[in-house]
Amino acid sequence: MAATAVNKLPDSAERGVVIPDNWPGYPLDLFTFPEHYSGDLDCVYIPHGVIMDRTERLARNIMDDLGDRDIVVLCVLKGGYQFCSDLVERIKVLSCNSSKSLLMRVDFIRLKSYLNDRSTQDLQIIGAESLSVLSGKNVLIVEAIVDTGKTMKTLLTHVRAFKPNMIRVAGLLVKRVPNSSGCLPDYVGFEIPNRFVVGYALDYNEYFRDLNHICVISESGKQKYKV
């Protein structure tokens, strides 16, 4: 079920690009990446160019659905900053080149629930006091990754308390996990297997945000940056 259960895209669009469980990724030596991460990655899982192409299409879907309204884009930090920035950029281009236009304001909220590659029970919301600006507005929450969906569910409860007019969620990645809360974004970039991924602003203990591709971290990478 989509987070807001109102989006009417067909099934394939709801799941996004589905990456199968047996997808091995691409060998690292076929791509460039920062030298300081050599030995810390297993493979390139989703190359940067593919992320950009998919984001362009998500921007078009959002524009088709929400065009000619005012929206507040709520970027979920830290992991969502790159996806949000690229998505907003694509929507801006579409706004200039089509008959529809979307007036966007951008706001930020910071959530933290992960230590190493494990979710903790303790979800911290930093900047929740600023959510009062969402009252009566059309809100597009932009999140990099939905794993169990617990974070998204908690955030939606907080946002709804401020009585926005409408809420939609765009998530770049959704993991196929057995313990999913069933809370899924309205706009999904990729559905991925249950593996810990880094890059494109997704981190492992704050490292790997400076990596363009989405990659699978290696065991030695996990050991190196463990806290």
Binding site for ligand IMP (CB under 6 A): 79, 113-114, 119, 145-152, 196-198, 202
Least spacing, CB of residue 164 vs ligand IMP, in Å: 20
Pairing of strands 214-217, 197-198: antiparallel
* 10 CB-near residues (< 8 Å, 6+ apart): none
Q: Is the CB of 99 or the CB of 121 nearer to ligand IMP?
A: 121
| Options 40, 86, 147, 186, the catalytic residue | 147
Q: Is the CB of 31 or the CB of 196 nearer to ligand IMP?
A: 196
Distance (Å) of CA 157 to CA 8, 53, 75, 144: 22, 31, 16, 19
86 noted as active-site residue: no
Least spacing, CB of residue 138 vs ligand IMP, in Å: 23
Distance from C-alpha of 176 to C-alpha of 142, rounded to nearest angstrom: 19
Least spacing, CB of residue 124 vs ligand IMP, in Å: 11
Least spacing, CB of residue 174 vs ligand IMP, in Å: 9
DSSP-H helix ranges across the chain: 11-15, 48-66, 81-97, 150-160, 219-224
Task: Give the phi and the psi of residue 201 in degrees, each rounded to 5.
Answer: 80, -5
Task: Order the strands of the 214-217 sheet from edge to edge.
Answer: 41-46, 214-217, 197-198
And the tokens for 56?
């362009």
Q: Is the CB of 26 or the CB of 114 nearer to ligand IMP?
A: 114
* 223 CB-near residues (< 8 Å, 6+ apart): none
SS3 73: strand
Q: Is the CB of 94 or the CB of 212 nearer to ligand IMP?
A: 212
> Which are the catalytic amino acids?
147
